[in-house]
Structure 1
Amino acid sequence: MAMLEVQNLSVSYGVIQAVKDVSFDINEGEIVTLIGANGAGKSTIVKTISGLLKPQNGQITYQGQDIVHRKAPQVVQAGISQVAEGRHIFAEMTVKENLQLGAFLQKDHDQTDKTYKEIFERFPILQKRQNQDAATLSGGEQQMLAIGRALMAKPKLLLLDEPSMGLSPLFIKEIFTIIKELNERGTTILLIEQNAKQALAIADRGYVLATGNVQLTGTGKELLANPEVQRVYFGG
């Protein structure tokens, strides 16, 4: 049984249909990526899984349980955390206060303290700057903070929406290294990315979306080698 299964999902914004009959699944321990141009429906799918949007039709099953009608905090409690497109950190709050928000549903204070230590070991710059306002961080450091905040909830499934957006090439490389390391340590990941080559290089499987539909699917390696993917996304 897949950890997450999305079946025949359709989502609209008023009269505009953003997602049309999309189906995909994620097995425990995988990195699965959704790639596609702006407007393909990628972020809409993530927001719907997270409980921020409600679909017109379709089913979302997580660990055998239907989560379509759950609110966002209930989805987090179930073990799914989202790192939103554009990071959405609280700029006027300190780094540590941002991290604290990620643990707002955690009731075991000892476990929360342990998670802080794990985050600071993984992202030493956040420990160094924990008392600074988040606005003082660089774009790459803010992305690390956004990921760290999501990890404070101890997710089994991490949803990453455009984590490389707006970052320098150096930080893009570092963020993809972090994603791979998180997966190797046991976190299942759904990766939404316009940087198709980087995403497919680390993904176990991928789905290519266009105008709200799944157009292609395969392993990361298969899609990297696909002539149509190369033509559209790599200029080949």
Structure 2
Amino acid sequence: MLEVNNLTVHYGVIEAIRDVSFEVRQGEIVSLIGANGAGKTTILQTISGLNKPSNGSIYFKQKNIRSIAPKKIVKSGISHVPEGRHVFSGLTVKENLEMGAFLRKDKEGVKKDMATVFERFPVLEERVAQDAATLSGGEQQMLAMGRALVSQPKLLLLDEPSMGLAPLFIREIFSIIEDINQNGTTILLVEQNAKVALEISNRGYVLETGKIVTSGTGEKLLESDEVQKAYLGG
């Protein structure tokens, strides 16, 4: 579904990503793990069109999306839940969810998908008229994920969904991620909580200073001495 080939990204003269290649197959959960500054967020932002690569290609459903506008990337079926959630303060929960549907014209379909979001995240329905900025961190994460789902993604990019959340909320969020995947959405997950991410992932890639240093199934990476020492506290 997604093929990233020889991707290089610069911020000015700084090379943030160097010659990165990986793939995400339809129906998978794939994790990118690594320390802060490894380049994980840069990769997601480049896939969603927010960064322009210096070199390489990004194919989504066999079409090169490297040079197309972010709006068209969303329309093609990729939605991005950014690090830090970025809900719209001053707008209600309902209005935030509606922002996820800004490219859609099928009002009945949007209404149906909003109902599905409320089924998956009942707390959002309880707070539907509340300013999104007043939600807890976990509730804001649910809102950011719900907003992305309203755009009907085929591929969901999740950037640090557990950041700043209590352990109870982390387990709940990852259970929801599995549920979203089992209902047909492919997921590319960036996450510092490597253990929990790899436990739910079909495959993973480990990044260090802008390049992939190892990859394998989630199970294989969990068992790797190198990964355990670096990221799992082993």
Q: Structure 2: where are the runs of 5+ without partners?
A: none
Report the residue type matching 1:225 in the other structure.
Answer: E
Report the residue type matching 2:215 in the other structure.
Answer: T
Match for residue 155 of structure 1?
A: 153
Match for residue 145 of structure 1?
A: 143
Kindly indicate whether residue 119 of structure 2 is the aligned counterpart of residue 126 of structure 1: no
Q: Choose which of 6, 11, 22 in structure 2 pairs with 1:13.
A: 11
Match for residue 49 of structure 1?
A: 47
Q: Structure 1: where are the runs of 5+ without partners?
A: none
Q: For residues 148-227 of structure 1, what are the structure 2 equivalents within 5 Å? A: 148-227=146-225
Report the residue type matching 1:152 in the other structure.
Answer: V
**Which portions of structure 1, spanning 4 or more consecutive aligned residues, are displaced by more than 6 angstroms?**
none
Match for residue 36 of structure 1?
A: 34
Percent identity among equivalent residues?
Answer: 62
Match for residue 113 of structure 2?
A: 115
How big is the shift at 1:234? 1.6
What is the alpha-carbon root mean square deviation over aligned residues? Answer: 0.5
How big is the shift at 1:4? 0.2
Provide the C-alpha distance between the structure 2 equivalents of 1:55 and 1:235, rounded to a whole number of angstroms: 33
Match for residue 100 of structure 2?
A: 102
How big is the shift at 1:209? 0.2
Provide the C-alpha distance between the structure 1 equivalents of 2:220 and 2:104, rounded to a whole number of angstroms: 40
Provide the C-alpha distance between the structure 1 equivalents of 2:46 and 2:231, rounded to a whole number of angstroms: 26
SS at structure 2 position matched to 1:153: coil
TM-score normalized by structure 2? 0.99
1:19-69 superposed Cα distances (whole Å, 9 cap, x missing partner): 000000000000000000011000000000001111000000000000001
Q: How many pairs were matched up?
A: 234
TM-score normalized by structure 1? 0.98
Report the residue type matching 2:147 in the other structure.
Answer: R
Match for residue 24 of structure 1?
A: 22
1:85-132 superposed Cα distances (whole Å, 9 cap, x missing partner): 000001211000000100000011111111111111111111111100
SS at structure 1 position matched to 2:174: helix
Provide the C-alpha distance between the structure 1 equivalents of 2:157 and 2:221, rounded to a whole number of angstroms: 21
SS at structure 2 position matched to 1:61: strand
How big is the shift at 1:17? 0.7
Kindly indicate whether residue 134 of structure 2 is the aligned counterpart of residue 136 of structure 1: yes
Provide the C-alpha distance between the structure 2 equivalents of 1:167 and 1:72, rounded to a whole number of angstroms: 28
